[in-house]
Structure 1
């Protein structure tokens, strides 16, 4: 039985080719993808292509585009066995994280991939990324999808989407999940680490929840920073605060008063770490105790991309009855370590 995969092309380097008159990279007609990569026809799956009308650079991808993708997957969920999204690399981790929260109780693979070099380049990584992603997007055993989550495939590695971060703008091996194991690797064999895969509640039904609020601010602290700037910004409902190490910040009276005032103004403060690996541990050092006192939320070992999109999805979402602070610490799609992220 041939599996059916819907390929959604949003834009990015993978869909570019060089215009030899200008020397610039321009999008090519993605309906000709089978001519560019005839090997696609050799894979045991049927591929339907749905390109964005106007291909977008990944820096132009945001909440509106996330909603379009999520709802298009929802609309076609019953007609396809898997979904492959071709995306620019710079914001792929944001899109993968957002989709993981918007696609509830997912039981089919949603794979995102892209490339560092255009598909027409002699040394391109696009072909391998695209072809192997199709394999993962159509991988079934005993009539059940092996991958039942949003994942990123890049340079021989399958990674949990909401755990990824782009750490290289230069190398083909551009993505990491520092706080979670690799889900699979492609070599001579196509391997999957089944013990690390996410599984939804077996009694739940797939649905799309495309709620996204943009009333979220991200701020990275640094030595010598003037916290007075916080009092000058417009009121925001959620502040994702990226702090030092396992959760420390300047131990001053001004820090305490500034953060307390933010909380009095109704701002939820989510604390995440500037470290690539590891996470937040309130109370480990005395300079983290301020966050416990003001009722800040620990992001544990969540990535910045996942923290931002999770906050955007949960904030003022009418489909949840629990308070934001209780929802955020839950491990909803495998984005943090532990049952409730603690």
Structure 2
């Protein structure tokens, strides 16, 4: 059987570090020596190549320019490889996974993000299992076609749809969750694939890699006692085009007239306001309670069950793609890559 070609893209993060046992400091891992350091990779039925950023990025410094760079690398190498594994710091991995899902239109090959909580050379590291299984998943084929044809995130025995994830723990190996959508694959003695949850395989179309992300967006998290100065500081930010409004429960917000009036004025001036829940799971249902009915009447965008990470990156993508102002609400409320109901 023909071996699959997998490209490993190292952007930065803990997974690419090894401890210098002389100094105790962490140093960058040499990915050209990958198989030497992880001989188990020889057992995988695939050929692995690696590409590393010239200057690895701490994921806290990740931004839309880096997302476009990663998408460009995948697009440039798309016809040379059967799958891609992106090694990334865990802190902003869900943002990057979400962004890549939008930037890579008509994706028909796996793009799997993974990382680790401990460096690859640490005695108790989670890096080896995450890396080995992510590569194995990227190489999965059935009847000549990739099993996974979307952007996924693999961490601690589970593959999730990337744009459905959020980081939930800074210390546990089970650092990510997808509370509004089931995981796609579970790794145990065997890999269990939940085919019913995979994105439907469509007829093969040419990959389209988008290159524009508009970062004139912001997040406003509602809290009891939020005052006018805070609202004004955000709504009056120069060039602001879209606001992700994190509301209570199923999309509820304060009923004070001054608050609603400020939101309404901003919408009338052209600002897109997207209603997402602060809760870890569940969905916005505008109009279900009186405290969200006014938002619905104002034409606030219904974020449904989208994550904040996916909402931010989807807004950047739509703004960068030149979606007209009149169509923005309709397109946002439509699932483009399986990111929402």
Give the Å deviation of 1:29.
2.2
Q: Aligned residue for 1:29?
A: 30
Give the Å deviation of 1:263.
1.0
Q: Aligned residue for 2:162?
A: 161
For the residue of structure 2 that corresponds to 1:8, the secondary structure is: strand
Q: Aligned residue for 1:96?
A: 97
| Whole-Å separation in 2 of the counterparts to 1:153 and 1:85 | 10
For structure 1, the residue ranges without an aligned partner over 5 or more in a row are 338-342
| Whole-Å separation in 2 of the counterparts to 1:58 and 1:209 | 21
Deviation track 1:73-113 (CA, whole Å, cap 9, x = no partner) reads 00111111000001110000000000000111111010010
Greater alpha carbon shift after TM alignment, 214-223 vs 11-20: 11-20
- Confirm whether residue 292 of structure 1 aligns to residue 304 of structure 2: no
Contact 2:285 2:304 in 1 (8 A): yes
Contact 2:220 2:243 in 1 (8 A): yes
Q: Aligned residue for 1:333?
A: 337
Give the Å deviation of 1:205.
2.7
Q: 2:306 pairs with 302, 311, 336, which one?
A: 302
| Whole-Å separation in 1 of the counterparts to 2:120 and 2:112 | 18
Give the Å deviation of 1:228.
3.5
Deviation track 1:5-37 (CA, whole Å, cap 9, x = no partner) reads 010011100011223454332222222222221
Deviation track 1:96-154 (CA, whole Å, cap 9, x = no partner) reads 00000011111101001000100000000000000011110000000001000000111
For structure 2, the residue ranges without an aligned partner over 5 or more in a row are none
Give the Å deviation of 1:162.
0.2
Contact 1:5 1:137 in 2 (8 A): yes
Give the Å deviation of 1:321.
9.5
| Whole-Å separation in 2 of the counterparts to 1:203 and 1:35 | 37
Alignment of 1:57-96 (within 5 A): 57-96=58-97
Contact 2:241 2:270 in 1 (8 A): yes
Q: 2:262 pairs with 238, 247, 258, which one?
A: 258
Contact 1:61 1:91 in 2 (8 A): yes
| Whole-Å separation in 1 of the counterparts to 2:161 and 2:137 | 13
Contact 1:152 1:158 in 2 (8 A): yes
Deviation track 1:214-237 (CA, whole Å, cap 9, x = no partner) reads 011111110000134332332411
| Whole-Å separation in 2 of the counterparts to 1:122 and 1:215 | 43
Give the Å deviation of 1:202.
2.1
Greater alpha carbon shift after TM alignment, 276-285 vs 197-206: 197-206
- Confirm whether residue 145 of structure 1 aligns to residue 149 of structure 2: no
Q: Aligned residue for 1:277?
A: 281
| Cα distance change on mapping 1:199 and 1:205 into 2, 3 Å | farther
Give the Å deviation of 1:200.
5.3
TM-score normalised over the length of structure 1: 0.95
Counting matched residue pairs gives 337
- Confirm whether residue 230 of structure 1 aligns to residue 231 of structure 2: yes
Q: Aligned residue for 1:136?
A: 137
Q: Aligned residue for 1:214?
A: 215
| Cα distance change on mapping 1:137 and 1:274 into 2, 3 Å | same
| Cα distance change on mapping 1:334 and 1:57 into 2, 3 Å | same
Contact 2:108 2:204 in 1 (8 A): no
Aligned-CA RMSD value: 1.5
> Which contiguous aligned blocks of 4+ residues in structure 1 show a shift greater than 4 angstroms?
319-322
Alignment of 1:179-218 (within 5 A): 179-199=180-200, 201-202=202-203, 204-218=205-219
| Cα distance change on mapping 1:319 and 1:206 into 2, 3 Å | farther
Give the Å deviation of 1:256.
1.6
For the residue of structure 2 that corresponds to 1:111, the secondary structure is: strand
For the residue of structure 2 that corresponds to 1:323, the secondary structure is: helix
- Confirm whether residue 267 of structure 1 aligns to residue 279 of structure 2: no
